[in-house]
Amino acid sequence: MSKLRYLPLLLLLLPPFYLDLFWLQAGLFVMAAAIGAIGLNLLTGSTGQLSMGHSFFLAVGAYGYVYFAGESDEHLVGLGLPPVVAIVCAVVLAGLAGLAFSPIAGRLSGVYLGIASLALIFIGQHVLFNVHDVTGGYNGRAVPPLEIFGFTFDNSGDVAPFGIPFGGLEKLWFVGLILLGVSALFALGVLRSRPGRAMNLIRDQQTAAGVIGIPVARTRAAVFTLSSMYAGLGGVLLALTFQRAVPDYFGMLLALDYLAMIVIGGLGSVTGAIVGATFVTLLPQLLTRYSDSLPLVSPPGTGGVSPADAARYLYGAAVVGIVLFLPAGLRGLRIPSLTPRKETTP
Amino acid sequence: MTEVPELTVENLTVRFAGIVALDAVSFAVAPGTLHAVIGPNGAGKSTCFNVLSGVYRATSGRVTFGGHELTSMAPHKVGELGIARTFQNLALSPMLTVEDNLMTGRHRLMRSGFVRSGLRWPSAVREERLHRDRAREIAEFAGIGKKLAHPVGALPYGDQKRVELARALCGEPRLLMLDEPVAGMNATERHEMAELIVTVRESLGISILLVEHDMGLVMRLADHVTVLDFGRLIASGTPAEVQNDPEVLRAYLGEEAAS
C-alpha cells in the first residue's frame, strides 16, 4: 500500500501559520481529547471493559503535571521540576493510580466495572475540591507553561518562523501533534499484535480466552493501567492548553463525553477515537463561536439553550443514531464493507 | 513435538448445589490415542470437559496430566500445559480475520507484551512474523488456507468449526479436546471434519479427547470409548465392546432394548 496516502497528514503542520488562537485552542483540545479517547477505546472498545472513571485519570494527569512542575508559594505546593520531567511523572502517576484500581478492574467485567469505576469520579471530585494545597480548590490553579531545554512555550515572542510570531498555543500545537502521533502509533502497535488479539478475544469470548492460555484478569488489569496512562497524558495536554486546571471540569459529564467519543467515532478503533474526539470536542466550541447566528442557541448566560447544552443534545442524538444505524461509528462511514456488524455481545 | 503424557481422571466428582453432574468418574487417555466420551444429553460430558480445561472446579477427585494436577489450576495455566479445546458453540472473535483468530491460539507460545508490541520492538516484529507463518501453515492443513483474510463472522458454519479446530492446533497442543466437532453440520461437512480429525491424529501424534453425539463417527474414529449416564461412568472399552454393553443400550434405548 502506498505511503503517499499519509501525505495529507502534513497539512496538520499548517494551522499555526494561518489560524487564530480560537481555532488553535480548539485543535489542541481535540488532540488532548483524542489521546484520552484512544486510551478509553483500548479499554472499552477493544477489551469490552466499560469505565466511567476516565475523567478521574485525566484529572490525575492534569494535576500531576501542575503539582510536579508548579512552584510552591504561600497557598500552593509544587515540586518545581522541569516541565518535561513533570509530564513523564504525571503520566506515571496516572498509571500508578490505574494500577492501584486494577485488582478491581481485572476481576470485574463489562458493565460491572463501569459501575465500580463511578466511585473513582466521586472520590476524585472530593479530593480535588479539598486538597487546596495541590489543586487550588474550587477556583483551580494556573498551569506552568511547558519548557523544553530552555525553550519556553509561552507568548514571549522569541520565535517567528516566516515572520509569523509564535505564541504559546502555536508552539504547543506541534507538541500536541507529536504526542497524539506517538499515542496513536503505540495503540495501533498494541492492537495489531499479541496483546491486542488477546484483548479482542477477552471481549468476545471470555471463557475461550482463558482456556487458550490468556490470563484474563491480568490482561484486563494491564489494559486498565495503560488506558489510565493515556488519560494522564491527555490530561497533561488539556491542562497545558487550558493554562488553568479547575476541579469542576473533571466530573461525570466529562467521563460521559469520552464514552460518547468512542461510540460516535467507532468502538475499538484508533481512528474512530480521533474522529469521535474531534466531533465531541469541536461541536460545543463551534456552537459557542457561532451562537449569535444560529437559531435556538443563545450565548452563554442569557437564558435559553446554551451552546454547551445544545452540543450535548446534538451528540446525544448522534450516539442514538449511530448505535441504531452505524454500529461501526463514524469511522465505518468510509469503508462500510470492511467493518462487518458485530454478531453478538456476550 | 514434545512427549505426550497420559491424562488420568480419578474419582472426579462435580456437584452444582445438590445436583451431581459427575459422580466419581475415572478414566485415562493413553498417549497418542483418540478417546471418546459419549452419553445421552445431560450425562455430564460437557461438565467433564469444563473441569479438564479449568473452567469449572471439581468438588473432589484428581485430574493429572504429565505430573501436573489440573483441578486446582486457572484456565490459562491449563492452556499453558498444552491442553487445547474447542467449544460446542463457537467461541471465536467474529470481527477478527481467520488469521488473527488463529494467532490468538499461538498466544501462549509468544512473549511480546504491551510495551514491545506498542513500540514495534524488532524482537516483537520478528516473533509476529514467525508465528504468522506457522499459523498460515496450520490453516492450510485445516483446509482454510484460502480464507485467512476473511472476518470469521462472515464464514459458513462448517468453516467456523474448522477455524476453531485450527486455532486449538495453533497452540501446538499435546492433548486436543473436541467438544462436538460435527454438531449442526451437514453430511458432507461431517465427512470432511472426520477426515481432518483422522489426519490430525495421524500426522501430529497427539492425544485427542472427543465428545460427540454422532455414533457413527465415534465408532469409526475412537480407540477407546467412555460412556457416561447421569454423571456416572456406565461402560468403558473399545467401540465394539461398548456397542454391545447392556448398560449402554439401556441408557440410550431404554429397558426393553437391553433385555
Q: Could you state, in order of their start, the residue ranges of all structural domains in chain A?
A: 3-250
| Whether B121 and B161 share a structural domain | yes
> In whole angstroms, what is the distance from residue A196 CA to residue A189 CA?
8
Contact A195 B108 (CB under 8 A): no
- Which chain A residue shows the shortest CA-CA distance from B76? A213
CB-CB contact of A102 with A49 (8 Å): no
Q: Which of A46, A197, A337 to mutate to test the interface with B (most CBs of B within 10 A)?
A: A197
Q: What is the pLDDT of residues A182-194, one digit of tens each?
A: 999 999 999 999 9
> In whole angstroms, what is the distance from residue A330 CA to residue A259 CA?
14
| B residues 141-170 closer than 8 Å to A (CB) | 151, 153-154, 167
Q: How many CB pairs under 8 A join A and B?
A: 114
Contact B76 A213 (CB under 8 A): yes
Average pLDDT over residues A1-23: 77
Q: DSSP for B134-156?
A: HHHHHHHHTT-GGGTTSBGGGS-
In this predicted structure, what is the pLDDT of residue A336? 45
The shortest C-alpha distance from A171 to chain B (Å) reads 26
Asked whether the predicted pLDDT for residue A275 surpasses 50, the reply is yes
How high does pLDDT run on average in chain B? 91
C-alpha cell at A340: 462487518
| A residues 201-230 closer than 8 Å to B (CB) | 201, 203-205, 207-216, 222, 226
Q: Which one of A205, A213, A340 has the shortest CB-CB distance to B79?
A: A213
- Which chain A residue shows the shortest CA-CA distance from B84? A212
Q: Which residue pairs, CB below 8 angstroms and at least 24 apart, start in B236-239? A: B236/B27, B239/B36
Q: What is the pLDDT of residues A167-220, one digit of tens each?
A: 778 889 999 999 999 999 999 999 999 999 999 999 999 999 999 999 999 999
Contact B117 A196 (CB under 8 A): yes
Cα distances from A191 to residues A187, A194, B91, B168, in angstroms, run: 6, 8, 20, 22
Q: Which amino acid is at B6?
A: E
> In whole angstroms, what is the distance from residue A212 CA to residue B78 CA?
9
The band of B42, judged by pLDDT with boundaries at 50, 70 and 90, is confident
- Looking at B171, B200, B228, the residue that finishes a domain is B171
- Which chain B residue shows the shortest CA-CA distance from A190? B118
Nearest Cα to Cα of residue A193 among B103, B96, B167:
B103
| Whether B210 and B136 share a structural domain | no
In this predicted structure, what is the pLDDT of residue A334? 57
Asked whether the predicted pLDDT for residue A155 surpasses 90, the reply is no
A312 HSE (CA, 13 A, CB side):
10
The band of A14, judged by pLDDT with boundaries at 50, 70 and 90, is confident
Query: CB of B171 within 8 Å of any CB in chain A?
Result: yes
Using N-to-C axis directions, what is the helix angle for A194-204 and B98-105, rounded to 10°? Answer: 100
CB-CB contact of B144 with B208 (8 Å): no
The region of weakest confidence among A1-15, B102-116, B212-226 is: A1-15
In this predicted structure, what is the pLDDT of residue A343? 41
Backbone angles phi, psi at B115, to 5 degrees: -65, -50
Cβ burial, residue B1 (10 Å; 0-12/13-18/19+): exposed
Contact A212 B104 (CB under 8 A): yes
CB-CB contact of A213 with B131 (8 Å): no
Within-domain flag for B88:
no
> In whole angstroms, what is the distance from residue A277 CA to residue A305 CA?
23
- A73-A75-A78-A83 Cα dihedral, nearest 10 degrees: -70
Report chain A residues whose CB lies below 8 A from the CB of B179: none
Asked whether the predicted pLDDT for residue A110 surpasses 90, the reply is no
| Whether B16 and B74 share a structural domain | yes
| Whether B77 and B182 share a structural domain | yes
Contact A187 B118 (CB under 8 A): yes
| Whether B125 and B149 share a structural domain | yes
In this predicted structure, what is the pLDDT of residue A338? 45
Q: Which amino acid is at B99?
A: E
In this predicted structure, what is the pLDDT of residue A179? 96
The band of B257, judged by pLDDT with boundaries at 50, 70 and 90, is low
CATH number for position B189: 3.40.50.300
- Looking at B123, B142, B171, the residue that finishes a domain is B171
Report chain A residues whose CB lies below 8 A from the CB of B151: 340
Query: CB of B75 within 8 Å of any CB in chain A?
Result: yes
Three-state secondary-structure class, residue B37:
strand
| Whether B154 and B187 share a structural domain | no
CA-only gyration radius of chain B, Å: 19
The band of B102, judged by pLDDT with boundaries at 50, 70 and 90, is very high
The shortest C-alpha distance from A30 to chain B (Å) reads 23
| Whether B238 and B180 share a structural domain | yes
| Whether B224 and B236 share a structural domain | yes
Calculate what percentage of chain A has a pLDDT beyond 90.
54
**Count: domains in chain B:** 2
Report chain B residues whose CB lies below 8 A from the CB of A192: 117
Contact A212 B171 (CB under 8 A): yes
CB-CB contact of B49 with B179 (8 Å): yes
Within-domain flag for B235:
yes
> In whole angstroms, what is the distance from residue B225 CA to residue B208 CA?
12
The band of B132, judged by pLDDT with boundaries at 50, 70 and 90, is very high
Contacts of B32 (CB under 8 A, 6+ apart): B4, B201, B205, B206, B207
- Looking at B171, B194, B226, the residue that finishes a domain is B171
Residue span of the structural domain in which B187 resides? 1-82+173-259
| Whether B145 and B36 share a structural domain | no
The band of A236, judged by pLDDT with boundaries at 50, 70 and 90, is very high
The region of weakest confidence among A122-126, B179-183, B248-252 is: B248-252
The answer to whether the Cα torsion of A246, A252, A258, A260 is positive or negative is negative
| Whether B50 and B77 share a structural domain | yes
> In whole angstroms, what is the distance from residue B112 CA to residue B124 CA?
5
C-alpha cell at B203: 500426522
Contact A200 B96 (CB under 8 A): yes
Average pLDDT over residues A236-263: 92
Query: CB of B92 within 8 Å of any CB in chain A?
Result: yes
Within-domain flag for B259:
yes
C-alpha cell at B40: 445421552
> In whole angstroms, what is the distance from residue A9 CA to residue A271 CA?
13
Query: CB of B130 within 8 Å of any CB in chain A?
Result: no
Asked whether the predicted pLDDT for residue A290 surpasses 90, the reply is no
Asked whether the predicted pLDDT for residue B176 surpasses 90, the reply is yes
Report chain B residues whose CB lies below 8 A from the CB of A203: 93
| Whether B213 and B151 share a structural domain | no
Q: Report which of residues A298 and A111 the model is more confident about.
A: A111
CB-CB contact of A59 with A69 (8 Å): no
Asked whether the predicted pLDDT for residue A320 surpasses 60, the reply is yes
| Whether B69 and B1 share a structural domain | yes
Nearest Cα to Cα of residue A266 among A314, A317, A315, A327:
A327
